[in-house]
């Protein structure tokens, strides 16, 4: 039975429930390969219209400059008063219950990152003043552009009928199941390495606070155990106020460490322990005379600064109104860019070649170093909890719900599955943090393997795929819900469809995104080489921390 819209006296569409179609249940029962691209676009457009109506926005009359970032092609509900119905069901109501975050919450969540600006001085110290400033500006603009691409792809493909919940969902709808598997593996890897890196940095902080009296591996275990407790939170909304406090605490650490660094010498002992740098006068250079792998390692630490794009779809999936995501994202990127560049340049100017991976741990006055370390423990645990929350959700959605048809995440039975998953996840994070006790190199390695893809290459290539598909639809008949792809005049087996997709419309825009995406992939492979080479060199340094050892790296 086809769903029929119910119209109120005012002519606005109302929803009714139907036993034949059950929203998310239909999506779970019908293989994604059997759902046409046109259907995704149609119900996403319906969903955005319903959200506009609920906020009393006159969508047909008003079109902001942001809307020009993407265009409607063949699937247009703005010119009709008859909207398809989104049916209610238990699973859809559960899905709606998760969509509670606002764009302000998104702002705080994006800016909650323990490494944040604290690795920016090290990144600049590896390349010098000129490349450091130029690359931070360029990468910031590129990250903003790619973030807007992800936002537009999400609102063009997400609906209550066919909800997007992960980055991998976007990839699957545009490029197929293989792309989904690649994204899922890389995303899971990045998140668990992020959590492991934060356990490592918190372990370094605790080790410094104890004046290296505690075994370093024990210091990491402490934070893995703490994470197993914090990780029991299942929704991002619960992290909103925690993320809010973490932003202000991080800013406090920035101001304290800047003031102390300007009025005290660098921590020569920490620099010697970490890199073997001999004590001497502070030196800075316009272009650092270091080996290529060290410079590449520094650049990859810059990439880490803009690594939030990997969880943008997960954040939008929990927003009341995903159309507002760009507000929180733009403000967060502006704050991140300003904090990273100003803080990085300031600390590098005073500490030069003695700058270490986490700048506040390079303070020579122990009392202030301890204050910063203590504050960082709080923000680190919040950030690790956020990354762990999303990382476990990805595993839960793809394996527990997807492969085994397990219970819903927010159900009582879901809690019984979630709890042991948290314990195992944080145990793996401990293994990662202890195996490579070098914050700056493990950050560069994961930046090259995963962050470069999620923040730069994947959004660009996914946008190319979206534009090729939508431009190929120009010659098709207008899409009618329930009739599949019957309106297509040809298929992807015909050159005519490929020709329209690639060469019609804004072909120059597609070419730019495609070439830039390939360049990002090339840079990622270079980053993998640089990080691997630097890890090898650091382990070979006499006195360097060893895997699962008691000797601290700083």
Tens of pLDDT, residue by residue, the chain (554 residues): 333 333 333 333 333 333 333 334 444 455 566 788 989 998 898 888 877 766 554 444 445 444 444 444 444 333 344 444 444 455 455 555 567 778 888 888 787 654 468 889 999 999 999 999 999 999 999 999 999 999 999 999 998 888 898 899 999 999 999 999 999 899 888 888 888 888 888 888 888 888 888 888 888 888 889 888 888 877 766 666 677 788 788 889 999 999 999 999 999 988 888 788 889 999 999 999 888 888 998 898 888 788 878 889 988 988 888 999 999 999 988 988 888 999 999 999 999 999 998 899 899 999 999 999 999 888 888 888 888 888 888 888 888 887 888 888 778 888 888 889 999 999 998 888 888 767 777 888 888 899 999 999 999 999 999 999 999 998 888 888 877 788 888 889 999 999 999 998 899 999 999 999 999 999 999 999 988 888 787 777 645 556 577 776 66
Distance of alpha carbon 117 from alpha carbon 301, whole angstroms:
10
> Could you tell me how many residues make up the chain?
554
DSSP reduced 3-state for 428: helix
243 alpha-carbon distance from chain centroid: 15
* Vertex 186: Cα angle to 528 and 446 (nearest 5): 35
Q: Which residues contact 156 (CB under 8 A, 6 or more apart)?
A: 41, 44, 45, 70, 466
Dihedral sign of CA atoms 40, 54, 23, 316 in order: positive
- Dihedral angle over CA of 515, 516, 522, 525, nearest 10: -140
Distance of alpha carbon 403 from alpha carbon 392, whole angstroms:
15
- Which residue shows structure tokens 């490349």? 131
| CB contact at 8 A, 523 and 287 | no
Distance of alpha carbon 78 from alpha carbon 473, whole angstroms:
18
This prediction has a pTM of 0.80
Dihedral sign of CA atoms 349, 353, 354, 359 in order: positive
The conformation of residue 6, written as its DSSP 8-state character, comes to E
pLDDT at 107: 86
Tokens coding 347? 């600390």
Look over the chain and give the mean of its residue pLDDT values, rounded to a whole number: 81
Q: Is 310 exposed, middle or buried (0-12, 13-18, 19+ CB in 10 A)?
A: buried
pLDDT at 538: 72
Residues 436-491 have pLDDT tens digits of 767 777 888 888 899 999 999 999 999 999 999 999 998 888 888 877 788 888 88
């Amino acid at each position: 039975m086809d769903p029929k819209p119910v119209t109120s006296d005012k002519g606005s569409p109302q929803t009714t429930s139907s036993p034949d179609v059950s929203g998310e249940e239909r999506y779970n029962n019908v293989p994604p390969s059997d759902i046409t691209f046109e259907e995704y676009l149609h119900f996403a457009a319906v969903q955005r219209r319903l959200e506009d109506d609920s906020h009393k926005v006159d969508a047909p009359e008003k079109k902001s400059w942001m809307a020009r970032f993407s265009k409607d092609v063949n699937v247009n509900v703005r010119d009709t008063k008859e909207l398809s119905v989104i049916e209610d069901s238990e699973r859809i109501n559960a899905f709606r219950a998760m969509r509670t975050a606002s764009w302000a919450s998104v702002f705080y969540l994006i800016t909650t990152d323990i490494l944040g600006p604290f690795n920016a001085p090290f990144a600049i110290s590896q390349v010098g003043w000129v490349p450091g400033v130029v690359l931070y500006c360029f990468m910031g603009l590129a990250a903003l552009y790619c973030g807007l691409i992800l936002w537009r792809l999400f609102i063009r493909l997400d609906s209550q009928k066919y909800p997007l919940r992960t980055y991998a969902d976007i990839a699957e709808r545009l490029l197929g199941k293989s792309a989904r598997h690649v994204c899922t593996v890389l995303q899971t890897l990045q998140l668990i390495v992020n959590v492991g890196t934060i356990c490592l940095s918190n372990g370094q902080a605790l080790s410094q606070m104890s004046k290296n009296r505690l075994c370093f591996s024990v210091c990491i275990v402490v934070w893995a155990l703490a994470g197993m407790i914090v990780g029991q939170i299942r929704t991002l909304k619960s992290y909103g106020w925690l993320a809010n406090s973490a932003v202000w605490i991080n800013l406090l650490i920035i101001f304290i460490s800047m003031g102390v660094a300007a009025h005290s010498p660098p921590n020569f002992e920490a620099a010697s322990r970490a890199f073997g740098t001999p004590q001497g006068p502070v030196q800075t250079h316009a272009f650092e005379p270091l080996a290529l792998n060290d410079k590449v390692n520094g650049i990859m630490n810059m990439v880490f600064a803009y690594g939030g794009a990997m969880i943008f779809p997960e954040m939008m999936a929990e927003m009341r109104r995903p159309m507002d995501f760009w507000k929180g994202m733009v403000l967060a990127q502006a704050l991140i860019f300003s904090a990273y560049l100003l803080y990085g340049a300031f600390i590098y100017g005073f500490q030069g070649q003695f700058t270490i991976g986490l700048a506040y741990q390079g303070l020579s006055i122990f009392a202030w170093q301890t204050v910063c370390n203590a504050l960082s423990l709080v923000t680190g645990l919040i950030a690790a909890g956020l990354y762990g929350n999303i990382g476990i959700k990805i595993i839960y959605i793809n394996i527990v719900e997807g492969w085994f048809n397990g219970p819903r995440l927010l159900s009582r039975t879901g809690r019984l599955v979630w709890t042991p998953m948290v314990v195992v996840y944080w145990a793996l994070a401990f293994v990662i943090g202890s195996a490579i006790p070098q914050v700056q190199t493990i950050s560069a390695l994961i930046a090259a393997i995963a962050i470069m893809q999620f923040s730069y290459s994947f959004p660009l290539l996914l946008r190319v795929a979206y534009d090729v598909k939508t431009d190929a639809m120009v010659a098709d008949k207008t899409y009618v819900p329930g009739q599949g792809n019957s309106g297509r005049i040809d298929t992807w087996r015909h050159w005519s469809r490929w020709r329209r997709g690639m060469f019609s419309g804004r072909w120059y825009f597609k070419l730019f995104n495609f070439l830039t995406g390939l360049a990002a992939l090339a840079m990622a492979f270079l980053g993998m080489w640089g990080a691997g080479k630097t890890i090898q060199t650091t382990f070979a340094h006499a006195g360097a921390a060893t895997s699962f050892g008691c000797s601290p790296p700083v």
